[in-house]
Amino acid sequence: MLEFYDGKPAFGILKHNNACGFAVRDTLTNAYKDALAGDPVSAFGGVLISNKIIDLETAIEINTLFCEVVIAPNYDPEALAVLKEKKNRIILIQKEEKLPNQTLRTCLNGVLVQDKDSKTDEKEDLTTATKLHPSAPQIDDLLFASKLCKHTKSNTIVLAKNQQLLASGTGQTSRVDALNQAIHKATSFGFDLKGAAMASDAFFPFPDCVEIADQAGIKAVIQPGGSIKDKLSIDYCDAHKISMVFTGIRHFKH
């Protein structure tokens, strides 16, 4: 959520450290509603995170959902009173803190120390690989999806449209499996993938993912690039009027 703090109202719903719902809207209440629509099943018992002060209207909406934790920069007094009605709910204030530049993971007979992924993909980082360039709204959706993809367990695919997370495939052993999981999840909740954007945390070694995405209606793709077979995916996109951009950065989360 820190990557969205300076923008429009954004709301995220996390389950097991993966976003199951996320949206950016003109009001915080609408951001919450559209985040919840992304996966109202997984949202049950989840962690809710806002980038803005939670107001009364949003708190009333939140209070209809069973959630374990709510995190925000602050709360209006009336909103806080509503959220406190659930006695076991944990309500936290997000403080501005400088986070460590390295992460630690335990492993056999030791500890793995690795640099934190502090890179956020920006418009200036993008290189259009296809003949068709993404439109301005598509670029917004691609960057939105890329931010979520960065924080989702690999292998991952994230599908987004109009600044809303439609679905993601998380922690799969194959990128195709991740994509199929995301498509199935999005369609099961009634989302139309026509014109949606797709983000991948690593390159496509074969054109199978862009073929499956095309068949689902997806028309814009963001990925690191760097496969020796990149041209196969590029050629497919060119033949089917799909725009694809490269970032040059992989965002594996293991």
Residue 118 lies in a domain: no
**Confidence band (pLDDT; 50, 70, 90) for 105?**
confident
Does a structural domain hold residue 203? yes
Whether residue 35 is contained in a domain is answered as yes
For the ranges 22-26, 52-56, 247-251, the lowest mean pLDDT is seen at 247-251
Looking at 93, 115, 145, which one is the last position of a domain? 93
Same domain, residue pair 234 and 128: yes
Q: What is the CATH number of the domain that holds 12?
A: 3.40.140.20
Reply yes or no on whether the pLDDT at 6 is more than 90.
no
In a domain? residue 107 = no
Q: Give the structural domain span for 150.
A: 124-246
The pLDDT tens digits for 36-46 are 999 999 999 99
Q: Mean pLDDT score of the chain, rounded to an integer?
A: 92
pLDDT at 1 over 70: no
141/208 same-domain check:
yes
Per-residue confidence (pLDDT) for residue 212, from 0 to 100: 97
Q: What is the pLDDT of residues 120-129, one digit of tens each?
A: 788 999 999 9
- Select, from the ranges 12-16, 108-112, 214-218, 250-254, the one with the highest average predicted confidence (pLDDT): 214-218
Q: In the predicted model, what is the mean pLDDT of residues 48-61?
A: 96
Provide the residue type at 206 as one letter. Answer: F
Per mean pLDDT, which range of 5-14, 139-148, 213-222 is the poorest?
5-14
Token pair recorded at residue 13: 């719903």
pLDDT by residue (tens digit) across 69-93?
A: 999 999 999 999 999 998 889 999 9
Q: Per the domain annotation, does 217 fall within a domain?
A: yes
pLDDT attached to residue 171:
84
Please check whether residue 72 lies inside any domain of the structure: yes
Torsion sign over Cα 214, 220, 224, 227: positive
State the pLDDT at residue 247: 93
- Shared-domain flag, residues 77 and 129: no
The answer to whether residues 128 and 235 belong to one domain is yes
